[in-house]
Homo-oligomer: A and B are copies of this chain.
């Protein structure tokens, strides 16, 4: 692992690091914010998964999360959203290929050898973080924006007991129910509908739910709301009596202005779960 940069921020350190990912078979970059408490012992970790076109950097500089993480003594990790490098397949569209990994292990060509973002977030990066930083991996929670909200929800439900709480900002909540979502799933997973179901938050909610608290915010003026389908997730979550706070925020859109507005709420929400017991 190589240090790209470290900046003092909110009493702690905002770092950016490079490493060779075994699962993605390429160099990957991530951001990690460690509050001051990390000097004195192991601290809880909150994952922030980003949306389409983002790298590790967007949320790190625009979501305003560090100040609240510092207040709560929680570390923040900002992974990239896809494999990177010249050898990695790409597509001209913004919603496929680089910047659009969808937190899936691809089974189809040309995506298959590198696009293993599920395993990257679930196994590769956690091992690296545990080895190199003072993190209490028994206390993890996860959040994300848009495609990253989809990733947060599917990973939280797909790996039981890993995360204590899950939240999402404007998540892609039911991709198998839109033509747009089916396009991505077809590309990465082919026609395997069982594989699709494992990466659809609404279907996972119907099937198994999440063993912990859930918070979702979506803006009423989100320009992509028809692709997100918050109503499908809400119906599934309420139908199974999932512990949940599902909010539609009047007048907000899909931007980071929306994300940063509600970041304090999300980090407080996760802190409560991370510091329980």
Contacts and interface: CB of A to CB of B under 8 A. Distances in A.
Interface string A237-277: 00000000000000111011110110010000000000000
B260 A67 contact: yes
A143 B219 CA distance: 31
Given A8-B252, A62-B62, 13 more contacts: A7-B252, A7-B253, A8-B219, A8-B251, A8-B257, A9-B258, A9-B261, A61-B62, A61-B256, A64-B67, A64-B260, A66-B260, A67-B264
A257 B7 contact: yes
Interface string A8-28: 111100100000000000000
Contact of A8 (B64, B253, B256): B253
Interface in A31-65: 61-62, 64
User: What is the oligomeric copy number?
Assistant: 2
Interface residues of A, number: 23
Interface of A: 7-11, 14, 61-62, 64, 66-67, 219, 221, 251-253, 255-258, 260-261, 264
Q: 6 nearest interchain CB pairs?
A: A9-B257, A8-B251, A7-B257, A64-B64, A8-B252, A10-B261
Contact of A14 (B66, B67, B219, B257): B257
